[in-house]
Amino acid sequence: MARRNPGLPRRQTLVGLWLLLSGISLLGGAIFALWLDGLFQPRGLARWVLWLGCFSGGGTIFLVGLLLERQLFAPLRHLQVQLARLVANPDARDDYPPEGWLRGLGPDLVRIREAWRSDRGRLATAHADGARSAARIRQELEALLQVLDTPLLLCDRHRRLLLYNQAAERLFEDHPGLGLGKRLEALLPVASLHDALGQLPEDGSPREVLVPSGERWLRAGLRRVPGSEGETLLTLADTTAAWSSELGARAELAELLPVLRRHGASLSTAADALGQLPRPAADADSDALRRRLEAVIDEEGRALADRLARLGEVVDDMQRHGERLLPLWSNDLWAALAERLPDTAPRITPVGMPAWLKGDAPALLVVLTTLLDRLAEHTGQTAFDGEVCLGNRRVYLDLRWRGSPLPEQRLDAWHRWRLESLPMTPTVGEVLRQHDSDAWSLADPDGEHARLRLPLPALERVGAPRPRMPPRPEFHDFGIAELPAPDAELAACPLRALEIVAFDTETTGLELRRGDRVISLGACRIVNARLLASETFDIRVDPGRPIPPASTAIHGLSDEDVAGAPPPAVALPRFRDYIGEAILLAHNAAFDLLAIQPPDGGVTFDMPVLDTLLISRALDAGLDGHDLDSLAERYDLRFPPGSRHTALGDARVTAELWLALLPRLEARGIETLEALLALQASAFDREDASAS
């Protein structure tokens, strides 16, 4: 570990010594002048010279100190700030040009900065020219990841996630185990999966395994990446519907088939025996046998008819619940229909409240297009309303127009209309039966409108679908594979290899030991010295007590904002799951650690904790201002509008501050967690720990 650089003396100490020496000198001069004045009793000019001479020492010390402060010490502090900012971010603005006696260093400092930036620019240009092809491949990979509907996971030999796509993010929505650098065990803790991963062939041959994930079943395709350092690609598919079908309708179908075969064999045997009997006129015994055989045929025929009816129900159920019937949001269905219709086609206007339903979207769109064309021909109208109404376990999809209901004969003819654009050209009625549906027409209560109604399977889901997530760059980081193994000694881990969760809290007040509680908790992750701005944790917490107006004035949260939020016993374990195997980072961590460990929190945070306040104080003990606002200004960091004094906003700036401090730590030989914790401990001060 490198020796700590003491830096400049603290300004308060220097100012105190200067004022103390000046005061002692002036007081001593005054006493000495009084003694000389009483001893010699000078008059006129001699008395003025005596008093000025006695005060000259103290005055000289005071004036020299003032001169040094303005011409040397203040410029030195400004130079230290500028150098710290330059090391942390060479492209930061220049707010502190050399002043006073250091003014002559201005051109030299500008030259050093320009040369540094020029060298970095040439290096970046050379790197860009040399990596142009790689950049194009990376862009294509990111575009592919964003549009691919198959969930993908790529993990290294230590089973840390190197890559995932948006489909995987949707599949594991809100799962704390999904994130770059996190272990696969946190996402899919299934022994059979990890056994299969350990037995994968190196030639890239695929293997499949069925794994549970919550209430779902996932089919995981596993493939070792050939020529890699043990990386494995996982493709996932939600097979819950198919698995349920295997256990439900298909299982029942498998049970019905042997029974049908048995009834069929009995009928064949009875029919053969009946055919070999003599005619009824032969004797009474054959007549009785014939009657028994006829009874058997009748009984078996009825049983066979019952089983065939049940078989039809099972087949219909398989069609209704097959994998082609997927969740649909009615607004999306109307929008897709509007895009499909040509300009000359009738228009449809969605009205009413949207809802979820199940259906085969391509087939439904063709059916709706066909029915709209037929309606336009029958009614002579070119505009219709589309409405979704909720029924008992059904969703009614209605096409509404001004006029009278359709005749039954016309609807029967439309049921038989063949849909040429669909495979095997099914009829409208066949597509509706696939959805366990039909179509009928009815009049509205107002007597002026009518509608064509299609009942469709409902879905037990509420709320509109979440908007599609915008593209972002944090879906992959292949550099994670080069990090030390997860079971490596944490104390010797390089700072850039640390997985860090930067967090911040907002509370009802500052007296945490006297009942104040956390009301908001925000965090973001740093992996491989890279801030993953989109892998965030942001939650409000019900403190179980009122929020004082004085606290609301700072963070803007009121009792209404936390009403209905989870209590600490629910929110804090979620945060612990989000942290995983990472270490914590906070600004003034002593306060935030106390906030997230209340008596009823139900969780303990026993991982190492880094504090940017203490780290900054250790690096720049001679500078004033180690609060978050001062450090953000010092390192040219920006709070987005409205994000200051929000838990997630402050956590992000704390993470950016850590990345700014990192090169300064490395420049001083502080490169491991053990060395940093020792440096941080040396700067601990109760007064600083209580500052905000």
Among candidate residues 647, 560, 543, the one with its CA nearest the CA of residue 601: 543
Q: Output the pLDDT for position 255.
A: 62
Helix (H, G, I), strand (E, B) or coil at 213: strand
**Is residue 465 situated within a structural domain?**
no
Q: For position 566, what pLDDT does the model report? A: 92
Burial (CB count within 10 angstroms: exposed 0-12, middle 13-18, buried 19+), residue 534: middle
Do 194 and 115 lie in one domain? The reply is no
128 and 152 fall within a common domain: no
In a 13 Å sphere around the CA of 390, the CA atoms on its Cβ side amount to: 9
Are residues 428 and 502 part of one domain? Answer: no
Q: Output the pLDDT for position 652.
A: 94
Are residues 372 and 264 both part of a single domain?
no
Range of the domain at 72: 8-137
- Of 89, 114, 137, at which residue does a domain stop? 137
CATH of the domain at 365: 3.30.565.10
640 within a domain of the structure (yes/no): yes
Given this model, what pLDDT does residue 336 score? Answer: 87
574 belongs to a structural domain: yes
- Whole-model pTM: value is 0.64
Does residue 477 lie within any of the structural domains?
Answer: no
The tokens describing 376, both together, are: 């336009």
120 and 172 in a single domain? The answer is: no
**What single letter denotes the amino acid at residue 402?**
R
Judgement on whether residues 105 and 159 belong to the same structural domain of the protein: no
d(C-alpha 387, C-alpha 368), whole Å: 13
The answer to whether 245 and 235 have CB atoms below 8 angstroms apart is no
**In angstroms, how far is CA 125 from the centroid of its own chain?**
33
- Over residues 209-235, the pLDDT tens digits come to 888 887 778 888 999 988 888 899 999
120: its two tokens = 């970095």
In a shared domain, residues 641 and 615: yes
Per-residue model confidence (pLDDT) at position 602: 80
In this structure, is residue 185 part of a structural domain? yes
Q: Which residue has the tokens 């007549």?
A: 287
Same domain for 110 and 207: no
pLDDT score of 5: 42
β-pairing, 449-457 vs 394-402, is antiparallel
125 plus 154 within the same structural domain: no
Q: Residue 199's domain is classified under what CATH number? A: 3.30.450.20
Domain end position, chosen among 117, 137, 157:
137
Contacts 24+ apart (CB under 8 A), 493-498: 493/672, 493/673, 494/671, 494/672, 495/529, 495/662, 495/665, 495/666, 495/670, 495/671, 495/672, 495/673, 495/676, 496/528, 496/529, 496/662, 497/528, 497/529, 498/526, 498/582, 498/583, 498/673
Q: Is residue 636 part of a domain?
A: yes
Q: What is the pLDDT of residue 341?
A: 86
Q: Where are the alpha helices (DSSP H) in 435-484?
A: none
CA distance 218 to 466: 22
Range 453-487 burial, b when 16+ CB lie within 10 A, else e: bbbbbbbeeeeeeeeeeeeeebbbbebbbebeeee
- Max intra-chain CA distance, the chain: 173
- Tens of pLDDT along 664-677? 898 888 999 999 99
Do 418 and 509 lie in one domain? The reply is no
Chunked mean pLDDT (size 10), the chain, 692 residues: 44 70 76 74 74 73 74 74 71 67 65 70 66 60 70 91 87 88 90 85 85 82 87 86 50 60 65 61 63 71 69 58 70 87 86 86 88 90 90 86 90 90 84 85 90 86 62 69 84 93 93 89 93 88 91 90 91 93 94 89 89 91 85 87 89 94 89 92 59 40
| Domain assignment of residue 467, yes or no | no
Q: What is the pLDDT of residue 691?
A: 41
**Listed residues 323, 346, 369: the one ending a domain:** 323
- Say whether both 577 and 669 belong to one domain: yes
Same domain, 533 and 665: yes
Our count of domains for the chain comes to 4
Q: Which pLDDT score is estimated for 548?
A: 92
Confirm whether 546 is domain-assigned: yes
Q: What is the CATH number of the domain that holds 543?
A: 3.30.420.10
